[in-house]
Chain A
Amino acid sequence: MADQRFDHKWGMVVDLDRCTGCQACVVACQSENNIPINTKDLFLQRRAYEWIRVERYWEGEFPNVKARFIPIMCQHCENAPCEPVCPVYATYHNDEGLNVQVYNRCVGTRYCANNCPYQVRFFNYWEPVWPERMRNHLNSDVTVRSRGIMEKCSFCIQRIRRAELKVEQQERAVLDYPTMKKRNFLPACVSACPTNALTFADQSDTTGPVNRYFKALDDHEGGESAPRAYRLIEEVGTKPNVIYLKKVDKYPLKNGGGHG
């Protein structure tokens, strides 16, 4: 039995040439996914929750510097290192190309976080608390993760499910990618990005915006049709469903270069 309602596979393309490091995606993600508020303490303990984070790198020597940004979220790897190490199958790959974390199955061994090369899994060391006035801000479509649970980016699966429901319920339409496209199924970070640096779409849709990058990388012809496309830490063979497009620097630093 197919677990897919319609034939599709999600994928994301991040154009680093467009990313300005504004952190709108981070804020959108925090509020959409009921992520606890990151305090200074949590950062100092290296226990801050950021399902998507914008990493900043300096290029060159001060004052002749350039800032480089790269947003990093769960890469939803095809060969995910987090999946085989989970003793209770709390994380698995579903037919839609998503790496799913099942919160109520998780027992908190933290093996997955230790095996993840991208550092995008976060463990709830404490019961999450929100200020009293923010209790009603919580998104009811997302579970509030309790203590001892691993959590990570889900590509906003709740938004995809809501869009699917609306297609069937309000339009009584057949559920497929063209009808889905008319609905807002985009993850919170993608819809918040002011420069459209993030693109989320169906990989198998040949007319779609992300198909050509995945095709180019999967057929190993990156140099020709998608010269800027690459995957993060490609050499470990995780085969992520997120593709990055490298920044094109028209005016490179004279004596700079390399990551500072």
Chain B
Amino acid sequence: MRLSAKMVTLGLVGLLGLAVVGFVLVVLFISWFSNPPFGLGNAPPQPVAFPHTIHAGAPEEGGMGIQCEFCHRNVTRGAEATVPAVEQCLFCHEQVAGRTATAKAEIAKFRDNPDGIQPINWERVHRLPDHVRFIHEAHVRFFTQGDTPDRQLEVAQVCSKCHGDVASMTEVQPMKGQSLKMGTCLDCHRENSVPTDCTVCHK
């Protein structure tokens, strides 16, 4: 059978349509199952391999048991939990050089920097969209200074409600435990009978 020009055109249009629909489906699939979209949700490589297991882990498991708010100081004061300044790291690491060879190498990266003490360019793990207002302080206050026992938690317990058990993560992964999508926020807001009006979080 000979292909007429019309049939070829129709076939090409059909193929193009299929490609478009396929592309849309792939985009929807990726944006639904990855958080944030396009694979940014995986733990990015950090300039200094910081193990939360050693710093925040329980003492009986070989950790230091440091409280979350000791380093993330702003978490009980403002919107951002904040990453500490290098000076805060040196508060301990002035004396602590590390036990293993890898630990020594990682600590030396910022402690014995030939250019002096330089800020560490951490890669962002949790990325809040532009249209969301999230205040760490308000959430920590809600769960630590309430009237009922379930609202008189330790700060670390409040952190793990959304961030998961960070103390057991060598690399902090946003998707571990919670997806941190809007549904996660709403579930908790409904559970605790706090407002769910759009303008409470969206700006």
Q: Which residues of A contact B (CB under 8 A)?
A: 1-5, 92, 94-96, 98, 100, 102-105, 141-144, 154, 157-158, 161, 165, 168-169
Contacts and interface: CB of A to CB of B under 8 A. Distances in A.
Contacts of A98: 199
Contact of A1 (B137, B138, B196, B203): B196
B203 A169 contact: no
Contacts of B141: 168-169
Contacts of A1: 190, 193, 195-196
Contacts, number: 53
B149 interface: no
Contact of A3 (B129, B196, B202): B196
Q: Which of B141, B195, B199, B202 has the most CB of A within 10 A?
A: B199
Interface residues of B, number: 18
A143 B131 contact: yes
B198 interface: yes
A209 to B, nearest CB: 24
Contact of B198 (A2, A102, A143, A144): A102
Given A141-B133, A168-B138, A95 B197 contact: yes
Contacts of B190: 1
B131 A103 contact: yes
B135 interface: yes
B130 interface: yes
Contacts of A157: 199, 203
Given A98-B199, A100-B197, 8 more contacts: A4-B195, A104-B131, A141-B133, A142-B203, A154-B199, A165-B138, A169-B137, A169-B138
Nearest to B79: A165
Q: Interface majority SS on B: helix, strand, loop or mixed?
A: loop
Contacts of B200: 3, 161
A1 B195 CA distance: 8
Nearest to A144: B130
Contact of A143 (B135, B196, B197, B203): B203
Nearest to B78: A169
A102 B195 CA distance: 16
B36 to A, nearest CB: 13
B124 to A, nearest CB: 16
Contacts of A92: 198
Contacts of B199: 94, 98, 100, 154, 157, 161
Interface in B84-102: none
A4 B197 CA distance: 8
Contact of A2 (B129, B130, B135, B195): B195
A143 B130 contact: yes
B195 A5 contact: yes
A95 B197 CA distance: 8
Interface string B183-203: 000000010010111111011
Interface in B114-147: 129-131, 133, 135, 137-138, 141
A132 B79 CA distance: 27
B130 A94 contact: no
B68 to A, nearest CB: 19
